[in-house]
């Protein structure tokens, strides 16, 4: 049984990758091999799994929460706990912030939106929530 962290997961496509704790190459993760709810799978989630040799390299099977991981899921979002935070591309983050600002405060000027976005982006980069 191996352990590791989910490094990417695309729920629309039903696959992602796990970075094993033992340092080998990332292992392919498919939604059909999950023994937990798909909605729980996020970047940073600690899992344990079997490794099989797939057609294109190592493949995870019997994927479940690592011992102790379930207790941390309930505290996601608590101060200082970024382990389950999705990392967005800078352009994705900026677009989402723009949409939120337009919905929440439609009277903001373009200049105000740009200034607020800049501050949010700086904050997000500092916490590792965005990548270029």
Could you give the CA distance from residue 121 to residue 49 in angstroms, rounded to a whole number? 35
pTM for the structure as a whole: 0.54
pLDDT band at 17 (very low <50, low <70, confident <90, very high): very high
Could you give the CA distance from residue 121 to residue 67 in angstroms, rounded to a whole number? 34
Q: Which fold has domain 2-73?
A: OB fold (Dihydrolipoamide Acetyltransferase, E2P) (2.40.50)
pLDDT band at 80 (very low <50, low <70, confident <90, very high): very low
Give the domain ranges of the chain.
2-73, 88-131
Nearest to 82 by CA among 38, 126, 31, 30: 126
pLDDT band at 74 (very low <50, low <70, confident <90, very high): very low
Rounded to 10°, the helix 90-104/110-126 angle is 130
Q: pLDDT tens digit string along 26-66?
A: 999 999 999 988 888 988 899 999 999 988 889 999 999 98
Q: pLDDT tens digit string along 106-119?
A: 898 999 999 999 99
Both structure tokens of 94: 């900026």
């Amino acid at each position: 049984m191996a352990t590791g962290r989910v490094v990417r997961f695309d729920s629309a496509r039903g696959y992602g990758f796990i970075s094993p704790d033992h340092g080998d190459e990332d292992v392919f993760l498919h939604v059909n091999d999950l023994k937990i709810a798909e909605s729980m799978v996020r970047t940073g989630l600690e899992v344990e799994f079997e490794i099989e040799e797939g057609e294109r390299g190592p493949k995870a099977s019997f994927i479940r929460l690592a011992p102790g991981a379930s207790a941390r899921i309930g505290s996601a979002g608590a101060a200082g706990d970024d382990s389950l935070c999705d990392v967005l591309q800078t352009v994705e983050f900026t677009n989402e912030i723009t949409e939120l600002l337009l919905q929440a405060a439609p009277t903001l000027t373009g200049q105000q939106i740009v200034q607020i976005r800049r501050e949010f982006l700086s904050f997000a980069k500092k916490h590792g929530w965005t990548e270029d």
